[in-house]
Amino acid sequence: MPYSLRHAGVSLWLESGVSPAEVARRAGHSIAVLFRFYAKAIHRSQDQANWQIEQALASAHRP
């Protein structure tokens, strides 16, 4: 059970938009381990990343 809770927590952090480097640090993983075991959660966070990029680009074009 602790492993399941840990996995759920790390997945939640990633899907919430926390940077993979910070998630790896907090989980005590290397980034390589994080990418290997949590690739699905990282992939699911792409929509959030795309939205953030779009917002940054939109604000950069405002006078």
pLDDT higher than 80, residue 37: yes
Domain count, the chain: 1
The string of pLDDT tens digits covering residues 11-26 is 999 888 888 999 999 9
User: Is the confidence at residue 53, as pLDDT, over 70?
Assistant: yes
Tell me if 45 sits within 8 A of 15, measured CB to CB.
yes
The answer to whether residues 38 and 10 touch, using CB atoms and an 8 Å cutoff, is: yes
> Structural domain of residue 17, as residue ranges?
2-60
Contact present, 42 and 14 (Cβ < 8 Å)? yes
Is the model's pLDDT at 31 over the cut of 90? yes
Which pLDDT value is given to residue 38? Answer: 87
Q: Residue 38: which of 2, 1, 9 has the closest Cα?
A: 9
Q: Smallest Cα–Cα separation from 10: which of 46, 19, 57?
A: 19
